[in-house]
Amino acid sequence: MNKLLILPLFFIVLIAGCVSSNNINNTTQNNTTPPENIPPAINNNTSIPAEAVATTNVEIRNNAFIPQIIVINKGATVRWVNRDYILHIIKFSNAQSPALERGDVWSYSFRDVGTFEYRSSISPSINGTVYVTE
């Protein structure tokens, strides 16, 4: 008689555990949505918080800007360091660096709020963005 009671009790415990586990998973998934007011690339942790530094470094390495997207405060400076073996010229719509050989550094201070896209003269696919906030 005890065996007949144990089997239904086992199934009740098993079903209760599955229902409880399903509720935990749904709660966890709802908490992973990023805030809507942050640009998508920034949600991927590819930027340095604007309040953390007054000068942000960007390396040119392996034909890429690292990090590719940064956020800075108005008046902050970005410093590019060429770690590649090839020559790069950083081009904005209103400014450009001199030719940077390996180890050369170029700095630019951003005095206006806005979004500033830039690229390397080597290839349009080597590009980056600076978000300047108040």
Examine the domain organization and report whether 111 and 93 are in the same domain: yes
Using an 8 Å Cβ cutoff, are 101 and 80 in contact? no
Domain span at residue 85 reads 40-133
Total count of domains within the chain: 2
Examine the domain organization and report whether 10 and 73 are in the same domain: no
Reported confidence tier of residue 53, pLDDT bands at 50, 70, 90: low
Examine the domain organization and report whether 11 and 45 are in the same domain: no
Examine the domain organization and report whether 5 and 56 are in the same domain: no
Examine the domain organization and report whether 2 and 48 are in the same domain: no
pLDDT at res. 54: 84
Using an 8 Å Cβ cutoff, are 65 and 89 in contact? no
Examine the domain organization and report whether 67 and 4 are in the same domain: no
Using an 8 Å Cβ cutoff, are 123 and 63 in contact? yes
Query: Mean pLDDT, to the nearest integer, of 35-59?
Result: 55
Examine the domain organization and report whether 29 and 54 are in the same domain: no
Examine the domain organization and report whether 66 and 100 are in the same domain: yes
* Share in percent of the chain as helix, strand, coil (round to 5): 25, 30, 40
pLDDT at residue 98 greater than cutoff 90: yes
Examine the domain organization and report whether 23 and 63 are in the same domain: no
pLDDT at res. 4: 56
CA 48 to CA 53: how far, in whole Å? 8
pLDDT at residue 105 greater than cutoff 70: yes
Examine the domain organization and report whether 2 and 68 are in the same domain: no
Partners of residue 96 on adjacent β-strands: 91
Kindly list the strands in the beta sheet with 55-60, ordered across the sheet, starting from the edge strand earlier in the chain. Answer: 65-66, 55-60, 77-82, 105-109
Examine the domain organization and report whether 107 and 58 are in the same domain: yes
Examine the domain organization and report whether 12 and 72 are in the same domain: no
